[in-house]
Structure 1
Amino acid sequence: MYSVSKRNHLSSLFHRGVAAAAIAGLAAGPGLAQQQAPAPTVQPVVPPAPVQLPALSPKQSAELARLLTDAGYEQGLRHDGASGPRLGSDEALVRATLDYARAVHSGRLDQSDFQQDWGLRPQPFDPLPGFADAVKRDRIAAWLRSLPPPYAGYDGLQKGLAKYRDIEAKGGWATLPAGPDLSVGATGARVTALRKRLAVEDSQVAATGATFDAALKEAVIRAQRRYGLRPTGTVSTGTLGALNVPVGDRVRQIMANMERWRWLPAEMPAKRIQVNIAAAVLTVFEGDEAIASMKAVTGRPGNETPMLQSRIHSVVLNPPWNVPTSIATKELFPKGAAYLARNNYKVIGTGPNRRLQQQPGPKTALGRYKFDFQNPYAVYLHDTPAQAAFSGFSRLESHGCVRLEKPGELAELLFRNDQNWQPEQINAALATEKTQRVQLQPQDQVSVYLLYWTAFAGGNGMNFRADPYSWDKKLASKIENRSAATAVASR
């Protein structure tokens, strides 16, 4: 579901400143006659050579103008009503093409638009050489088609964007009125409204009728699965809320997720672990195949799990927990010394610099396993003794790290090629309750991606998840603002 498979594989993924050096005069030492310092040699500042834009033939100008007219709209770079660049002269047309190419290939956002916890950054991309070659070989259309991310996940979002924009253009859907839960046997105007609403997204639903029958229950279950809700077949508050999200918000949600795809590299590592932060799910991939999956617990709003890419280099068995100062001060020290002792916390230091460390054992918040990877946020994957959280559909409860439902299975998978760390040796080390860091062999180190997918295409149509961090709305606004600013600058 969250694969970043390539299209041709299995589907589910400035300014230049010149500084002049100051040259100080030389003064004679005490008792010596002062000599005049030689005049400094000033090197002339040479401005950068102007960029040579390729010349278009009249036929190419017409073709490019036609191709660019709706390209940004179709790729989710602007919402309906936002004007594109003015394509008057050939120079304006070429510059608009280069701007579009950068945006659709590596993201619409400028570096200044990124939040601190949006740790993914697109790779630099200069479209001019490729465009110049396409002009020379008269293959502009093919070059433009090659620019978007080469992933089936992106293609699915682009198709979904067209569908939901069409729904929006036709008036969207009406808000369902609040009231008692709806289930099999219910009748009346609210059931009729529910049928009409479901039929907008689900062609199997009969849009007329005032009775909640078995077929309508199945339609509700399909909708609940698309929205990541518990599939009960009963329309309660959560389902009603998901169905009442305006279609314009769904369009912007798709736009935001398309932009995040553009931040990923053009080719993903064959061995990788992906965590969907919003859905709280971890998946292990080898090439295009998902070989393992498990539930996770990710950061609650206010303690967001950051988006990032790194590489797991070691596994800590029986890890202690070095409690972050903010958690120790706000949540643990106020509970008193007896609570700390009962839960195996050790106070290190005195006064304002004291800190807490929870000792290894069955009660430690990190459980028996910790999976380490370099990142500036001090987050990691780990075990937990609090298993009850994995039974919920909403699993955003951590302080930012990612808790795993089956950490032992992940450890065995990572160690499968290391004869010194087979299940028997792992269990023996765990039984000692002593901390031990085990470095993964270089060939067994695996890339890890923490991603925020809230919209994706599946076999049942477009799927949406809640936007718990409100990142979709922020990102969609930044995309539209940046596109509008670029359009104005081009005029």
Structure 2
Amino acid sequence: MMRKICLFIVLLFVVFMSCKNSRKESFEESEDYFDTVRKITIHAMPEDLLADKSDSIKSYYSLFENHEIWVDRENREDLIFQIEKAKEEGLYPEDYNINKIFQLELRLDSLELEEKLSYDILLTQTYEKLCNHYYKGKLNPNDVYENWDLFDKKISIGKLLKEAIDSKKVAASLKNLLPKHPVYLSLKEALVLVNKLPNKTFDSLNKNLKIKFNDTTRVVKEIKRRLVYWNDLQGKDTLSKKFDKSMLEGIKKFQKRHGLFADGVIGVGTLKALNTNKETRKNQILANLERWRWFSRNLGEEYILINLPNYQLDYVIENDTVATHKIVCGRPQRMTPILSSKLSNFVFNPTWTVPPTIIKEDLSVEAAANRNYFYKNRITIYKGKNTVVSPAEWDVEKAESYRYVQTPGYNNSLGVVKFNFPNHHLVYLHDTNHRDYFNLKYRALSSGCVRVENPVKLAKKVLEDQDNGRWKSLEIIRKERAEKEAKLKANKNYKPKKLTPEEEIENQKRLAEEKDAIDQIIADKETYYIKVKKPVFIHQLYWTSWSDKNGLHFREDIYNLDKILFDKLNVKN
């Protein structure tokens, strides 16, 4: 028995020493030392002050051998200055302990050692928080929205902090984390512009009104006041009740800034925008600044950038927009997801497999009412893998168990070309059989995928840059030939060669062979895949505000994402 007790005591001692050694490994005790260059004492950070701090904070101090970090006034002042400037980014300095830090800094010389070291930790925690908020945003997008799938963003704050402190470049280390994209910079300018406006709210105008040029009515005077407020009209003649020429120009400018038809006719959309006050617009700008902090810093050398609320796609190569197209995006009930991915291939003359949501909500309802729906829409019904089911045999009760495939063609739901890219939402870019939708201003009308106007033109443009001569467009071939002929004609001795009948036939044959390969593929009406080899990124993003030389721009918040975000963003922490 005595032997067992002794063995137990030995085991306890071993466990105790093991824990003690483990503790020593996780925190290496340090001592104060005197810096002969700066002529100051650098204090060791006691373990008990870091005991309840996060692992990341502890790891930062280990990089400084567990000594205080913010010993240089220059570094502290840089951090304080950046906290104050956070408001220019649409953030709240109060979230970063600005008042507490300012007071401690003023009293620094009179603080006890433990208070100084606690202050040092507070500065480190604040630096970490500011880094994360500048680079990733104050909020996690997945905690705010569904259907959000951007590239992961990682940041090594420890390495950043060490370099910033050692080189005394704290301000630069923080500023470099912010987005550099022109839209983000224009949003910062928009925040400045909106803050300069007087704090004024407007009573709601009757949205059922319709006012045209030369109309005379009392409400015209109120509309003029609002146009003056938003800098779309000069302050002259604001008391007149007549819809005059200067007001017409002001209304067109206002409409253009809000993505409306700039026809000068005041209807529902224009009145809705006129009823929106400064505070709402400012909140919208703040929400957009936060979203841009979520987006990728590097969009790629070559990418397709889609702004859903503006219904616009831009194809960008090395910061130069080489093509712009209108788009149709998902309606609010079937939102297009916000995502980043990379083009994988084009499908020309694609078939269309009807997705589950459309089977449930559209196809089953319409086909149940009229079985001719399948013939009219060129849809083949499949049971299992390849067993074809006739419309007469189709069982409406089992509608969701079948597979429905629409044959290729100009009137296929996907049109004649589909742009594929990997994502978790089963969405893609494509042509459409509803090409008339592109004439509308409100274009949130699809079932989730993005429809592109003139998609074949876009596909050709992308493939031109794929270093594959086979996909050179006819336009490029003609341009090259014209340049060659121009050089020949520049020669004084140049005489056009008269072709023999045989040579003429051969020339026509050569021209036929040079006919655009993609046009031929589409004409053949066979499904054809072309792989995208050179990286072309795709970013489906969402922003409803920016600014330019014409002033503040706003777009309708089609998915109500601005208010959702601002309500959460406005919670100070």
TM-score, structure 2 as length reference: 0.71
Give aligned pairs, total.
Answer: 437
Q: CA deviation at 1:203?
A: 6.2
- 2:267 is aligned with 1:236: yes
| Residue identity matched to 2:134 | V
Q: 2:334 aligned to 294, 303, 318, which one?
A: 303
Q: Distance in 2 between matches of 1:390 and 1:62?
A: 53
Match of 1:357? 405
The answer (yes or no) to whether the contact 2:304–2:536 under 8 Å persists in 1 is yes
Q: 2:199 aligned to 168, 171, 178, which one?
A: 171
The answer (yes or no) to whether the contact 2:328–2:444 under 8 Å persists in 1 is yes
- 2:154 is aligned with 1:124: yes
Q: Distance in 2 between matches of 1:242 and 1:264?
A: 27
| Residue identity matched to 1:117 | N
Q: Distance in 2 between matches of 1:243 and 1:277?
A: 22
Q: Distance in 1 between matches of 2:270 and 2:147?
A: 30
The answer (yes or no) to whether the contact 1:107–1:122 under 8 Å persists in 2 is no
Q: CA deviation at 1:114?
A: 4.5
Match of 2:87? 73
Q: Are residues 438 and 138 of structure 1, via their aligned partners in 2, closer, same or farther at CA, if it must alter by over 3 Å?
A: closer
Matches within 5 A, 1:9-88: 50-51=58-59, 52=61, 54-58=69-73, 60-68=75-83, 70-78=84-92, 85=97, 86-87=100-101, 88=104
Q: Are residues 66 and 263 of structure 1, via their aligned partners in 2, closer, same or farther at CA, if it must alter by over 3 Å?
A: closer
Q: CA deviation at 1:104?
A: 1.4
Q: Are residues 60 and 447 of structure 1, via their aligned partners in 2, closer, same or farther at CA, if it must alter by over 3 Å?
A: closer
Q: Distance in 2 between matches of 1:281 and 1:365?
A: 20
CA radius of gyration, larger in: 2
Q: CA deviation at 1:390?
A: 0.6
- 2:407 is aligned with 1:407: no
The answer (yes or no) to whether the contact 1:122–1:264 under 8 Å persists in 2 is no
| Cα deviations by residue, 1:191-211 (Å, 9 ceiling, x for unpaired) | 222122112221652263323
Q: Distance in 2 between matches of 1:290 and 1:406?
A: 16
Give % identity: 27
- 2:483 is aligned with 1:469: no
Match of 1:318? 349
Q: Distance in 2 between matches of 1:175 and 1:236?
A: 17
Match of 1:489? none
Q: Distance in 1 between matches of 2:286 and 2:152?
A: 16
| Cα deviations by residue, 1:3-50 (Å, 9 ceiling, x for unpaired) | xxxxxxxxxxxxxxxxxxxxxxxxxxxxxxxxxxxx9x9986768552
TM-score, structure 1 as length reference: 0.82
RMSD, aligned α-carbons = 2.5
Q: Distance in 2 between matches of 1:461 and 1:122?
A: 34
- 2:282 is aligned with 1:192: no
Structure 1 unaligned residues grouped into runs of 5+: 1-38, 486-491
Matches within 5 A, 1:200-279: 200-202=229-231, 204-206=233-235, 208-210=238-240, 211-279=242-310
Structure 2 unaligned residues grouped into runs of 5+: 1-10, 28-57, 62-67, 105-118, 385-397, 474-515
Q: CA deviation at 1:58?
A: 4.1
Q: CA deviation at 1:389?
A: 0.3
The answer (yes or no) to whether the contact 2:305–2:539 under 8 Å persists in 1 is yes
Q: Distance in 1 between matches of 2:181 and 2:142?
A: 26
Q: Which one scores higher on RCO, CA 8 angstroms, separation ≥ 6?
A: 1
Q: Are residues 152 and 414 of structure 1, via their aligned partners in 2, closer, same or farther at CA, if it must alter by over 3 Å?
A: closer
Q: Are residues 256 and 122 of structure 1, via their aligned partners in 2, closer, same or farther at CA, if it must alter by over 3 Å?
A: farther
The answer (yes or no) to whether the contact 1:183–1:233 under 8 Å persists in 2 is yes
Q: Distance in 2 between matches of 1:197 and 1:447?
A: 42
Match of 1:434? 526
Q: Distance in 2 between matches of 1:460 and 1:427?
A: 40
The answer (yes or no) to whether the contact 1:316–1:437 under 8 Å persists in 2 is yes
| Residue identity matched to 1:72 | A
Q: Distance in 1 between matches of 2:269 and 2:151?
A: 34
Q: Distance in 1 between matches of 2:355 and 2:251?
A: 43
